[in-house]
């Protein structure tokens, strides 16, 4: 299974119950994470989405705000996730192909635990908002994959997706 499977499961108590990890003894360090999400749809729908020509209005700005807002509330979305004082969240939305949009979300903080979940939640919420804005035109849009692309800082070190 790999290196992670040999570590103690940090979100389980000695008796096997789920609990929040105690990070109070860790030093606050600078941490950054970047995650991506893809939205696939017909070229016609993506043309309208990128042009701001959807029945619900301008989707790109709405989706960016949704992603940033969601990152700030990650501790409410994910039950055992620590609420973090985010110092920066950025969301970009670009046309990756005629039938795909790429969302890149970056989160940064100085804290005792990482910001991977904040970046992933921002990417997911942005893609979900794009879907919501476009579903009146096309309900067959597909979201995925949603994945971590990069992280830096913390005890586990840096990570860079290679595939």
Q: Cα(40)–Cα(140) distance, rounded to whole angstroms?
A: 9
Clarify whether 90 is annotated catalytic: no
Q: What is the C-alpha separation between 3 and 19, in angstroms, rounded?
A: 22
Tell me which of 22, 47, 99, 132 is the catalytic residue: 132
Angle between helices 116-134 and 59-72 (to 10 degrees): 150
User: What tokens appear for 72 in the block?
Assistant: 């700030």
CB 68 within 8 A of CB 151: no
Q: Kindly give the residue spans of alpha helices, DSSP state H, lying in 40-115.
A: 43-51, 59-72, 74-77
Name the residues annotated as catalytic.
Answer: 132
């Amino acid at each position: 299974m790999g290196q992670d499977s040999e570590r103690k499961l940090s979100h389980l108590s000695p008796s096997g119950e789920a609990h929040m990890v105690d990070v109070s003894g860790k030093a606050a360090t600078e941490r950054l994470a970047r995650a991506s999400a893809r939205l696939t749809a017909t070229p016609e729908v993506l043309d309208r989405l990128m042009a701001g020509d959807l029945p619900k209005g301008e989707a790109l700005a709405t989706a960016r705000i949704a992603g940033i807002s969601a990152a700030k509330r990650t501790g409410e979305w994910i039950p055992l996730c620590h609420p973090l004082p985010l110092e920066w969240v950025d969301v970009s939305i670009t046309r990756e192909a005629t039938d795909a949009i790429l969302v890149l979300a970056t989160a940064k903080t100085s804290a005792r635990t990482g910001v991977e979940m904040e970046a992933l939640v921002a990417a997911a919420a942005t893609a979900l908002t794009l879907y919501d804005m476009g579903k009146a035109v096309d309900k067959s849009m597909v979201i995925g994959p949603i994945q971590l692309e990069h992280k830096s800082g913390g005890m586990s070190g840096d990570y860079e997706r290679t595939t």
